[in-house]
A and B are shown apart, each in its own frame.
Chain A
């Protein structure tokens, strides 16, 4: 589509963010396959990195979509992204090694259908609707697959529906102790859904700047990654889960610090325990 995409002044074009997001996310999710090749669980954390790339990209998609005056629709955009993404993600996990690539194709088809329905049938008439809903569906599916593969160490459906519990010292495989059977996927759904909408929702306003919003997106991604790393203790070995937690924590501390610096740069003033300064009275 030849619609002019609005970006903040001096910002990175949306197409470049999309390219970095999709390639980075796919590469990182594929790196979790090293688990299968080497027979360990130590590479699981790459799934979380893939989800962070997807969140980073999705934030800019939401910004593009919501620049058409959908102010209160920002959180809803996050929900529809993950809601449609979960269908594509579950279907794609049956594809074996081709799962991440297959996921992008399935999600794209699904996103076009949803975009067409909302733009043409429901008559929302937003020029970028079809493209952005397609992107958001892919983003939602990538977030779910990334975090799910981080939690379980694999992107195969079979590993998401079987977990092991210890029953009188004997390890038994059960459905109820798995990622899907234990509904951890519902937690990942919410972690992704809030993380993807929060950066633009938090930074919107006349002085919104792209680098700050995108830094907030990375921060939200690593924050969700911390939560997934904590939950991965139920599925992975202690060392693999600890490594995931460590990577997530380092990433989060770095991005959170950077975000505070950028907020300080953009803020009108940075005051500690000072009274209100009325704009007309001098200041």
Chain B
């Protein structure tokens, strides 16, 4: 018997089992497409260029979808092969040797994998292009984001999925090698042994989830959030699988023990059905739950970034016009005159345009790095000495009162302070050679202060800044970067056009292109660029959200269809002994709690616990408003629940049509 024979036999098998193979091919094609699209984003120009934290996030996403693909394809394959046991057992009885059966299986796997990989790649290419075009049209970014892909990504996709299909082949062959034909003939009927709920697995799942949640809740600062995020996500994913596998057994068994609940028509049929194929059921639910969490996080965070763009702009640029004055290392004291002169010049320029300054803020400050030890701030020579130095900002009282509108007075040995971690509680603080009596104030220095551990100290006047710097130089004579810098910000009267004219004028004089030690930034001029970038994030968020939603549709559909075929015979028998159609519907309805409510609820819990870490990540993007995040989170959860509800209703109708 030659290969031609086996290959044509394999092809005929696929055709005659098309009822099983169509959902299988459809779902593996889609999962390949998902992976390919996700991996293509790694190469995307926007992702590469925009932010350093973006590309590791996409690596993570690709890994997650990769793991997910493995689980999903093995899961769908096990459904498929279970239903074909009888057919393949028959080959054994008809006299085919095991190696012949292996050959048939080889060709079948070969055909299906080639077909679905090819379709997945082509589909991904077309879908990616079309979808990016559509999104570009909808989001209207100043510069279109172009969908791109590379042969490396194509090869990686092919490689990964060939490996996965290879595993399914080995699994299928092993199923038939270790079983005798008679058993195989009955294979479909033989139930999964009712699983024993493993307490160890259950505890392990709680530990993993707790660990993952713990990382999120205790994360100290945004920079750490990026690195720990991966670990937390992986822990929660594994924890979710284990939780569903072990937890659902416990719950179902408890329900089964409660006779008042169990012995009612709908529950009777659905609980026993779920216990019967517990593992597949649990994996399917966990898949849905994880995808739901990913959709919610991806869309709600990017939506927050987009909605919060205006706020971010305000954080970054507190005033319409902002100027940073960089001090002179050679002549530190120079700032104390330049600071006032520049404000006068600006004032004049504004007047010259026929406008008035309506609001303004200005302050001088010196920056040091070091750490608090006891009640002394110990200087560091520079960044490199310590991994996470505390940033210390020292500013004169005069400027502090000016910017806050308050009127503090300070004795010569007194100071005010703010500490971002709120850890410093002493009443004295030594800075250099001088010890101040200190009092704590609220954060008046901008949300940026909370990004890394930092401290702000208000000293009686500008001469203290110089004194502290001198003390510092004594300790580290080779230091050559100490300066006094200053920030000046102001709003003006006038229309948008007038403001823009002023901004352009000032930008010409003091902007990035003009050089010099004063740097001008206009919020108005920056706005466009910000929207471009944040629109890009929203774009990616919607894209990922859609990708994961497709995954959810797929799994729900596959779950319902395959279980429908599994359950069909059972329902036929039950109808013979007097099951009516209403009860069939009732039993599918009582699955709602499991299929619909459970994944959504657990996904929501995941997202709630992800909140602290996501919030820290959002700080990097300058989003500080929690209400925005909360609202977009609630909105996305509700929207996703609605979409999932539609998916669920449609697929459960399919299920009902199959079993009826």
- Mutual binders A and B: no
Q: Could you tell me which B residues sit within 8 Å of A by CB distance?
A: none
Q: Could you tell me which A residues sit within 8 Å of B by CB distance?
A: none
